[in-house]
Amino acid sequence: MKKIKKIFFKLKAFLKNNYPILIKIKRLLFLYHVNFLNKFIVNNKKIFFDNIEKNKELLAINHFSEKYIVNSSDTIIGRSLYVKGHYEFDTFLNVLKILENKIKKKTLIDIGANIGSICIPAIKRKIFENCIAIEPEPYNYSLLLKNIFINNVNDKIQTLNIALGQNDNEQLKFELSEDNFGDHRIKSTSNKKNFYDEDKRKVITVNVKRLDSIIKNCNPKNTLIWIDTQGYESFILDGGIITLSKKPPIVIEFWPYGLDKFNSYNLLKKNLIKVGYEHFYDLSSKDTPKSLTGSTLNQIYLDYKSRKVDFTNLLFF
Q: What is the pLDDT of residues 109-140, one digit of tens each?
A: 999 999 999 999 999 999 999 999 999 999 99
| One domain for residues 39 and 111 | no
| CA within 13 Å, CB half, 16 | 7
| One domain for residues 225 and 140 | yes
Report the alpha-carbon distance of residue 54 to residue 280 in Å, rounded: 40
pTM of this structure: 0.88
User: Residue 39 domain-assigned?
Assistant: yes
What single letter denotes the amino acid at residue 282?
D
Residue-wise pLDDT tens digits, 28-66: 444 444 455 567 678 899 999 999 999 999 999 999 999
User: Residue 230 domain-assigned?
Assistant: yes
| One domain for residues 32 and 97 | no
Note whether 246 and 218 are within 8 A (CB).
yes
Helix (H) and strand (E) counts for the chain? 12, 14
User: Residue 299 domain-assigned?
Assistant: yes
| One domain for residues 17 and 150 | no
User: Residue 188 domain-assigned?
Assistant: yes
| One domain for residues 7 and 137 | no
Going by their DSSP bridges, the two strands 290-291 and 279-282 should be labelled as antiparallel
- Residue 25 CB-density burial (10 A; 0-12 exposed, 13-18 middle, 19+ buried): exposed
Number of folded domains that form the chain? 2
User: Residue 169 domain-assigned?
Assistant: yes
User: Residue 272 domain-assigned?
Assistant: yes
Q: List, in sequence order, the alpha helices (H) in the chain.
A: 2-18, 20-51, 77-83, 89-98, 119-124, 138-150, 211-214, 233-238, 241-244, 256-261, 265-274, 294-305
| One domain for residues 138 and 224 | yes
| One domain for residues 109 and 230 | yes
User: Residue 181 domain-assigned?
Assistant: yes
- Residue 225 CB-density burial (10 A; 0-12 exposed, 13-18 middle, 19+ buried): buried
Q: What is the CATH number of the domain that holds 261?
A: 3.40.50.150
Angle between helices 294-305 and 265-274 (to 10 degrees): 150
User: Residue 249 domain-assigned?
Assistant: yes
| One domain for residues 43 and 150 | no
| pLDDT per residue as tens, the chain (317 positions) | 556 655 555 555 655 566 566 555 545 444 444 455 567 678 899 999 999 999 999 999 999 999 999 999 999 999 999 999 999 999 999 999 999 988 999 999 999 999 999 999 999 999 999 999 999 999 999 999 999 999 999 999 999 999 999 999 999 999 999 999 999 999 999 888 889 989 999 999 999 999 999 998 999 999 999 999 999 999 999 999 999 999 999 999 999 999 999 999 999 999 999 999 999 999 999 889 999 999 999 999 999 999 989 999 999 99
| One domain for residues 13 and 111 | no
Q: Show the domain range for 10.
A: 2-48
| One domain for residues 41 and 171 | no
| One domain for residues 189 and 243 | yes
| One domain for residues 94 and 205 | yes
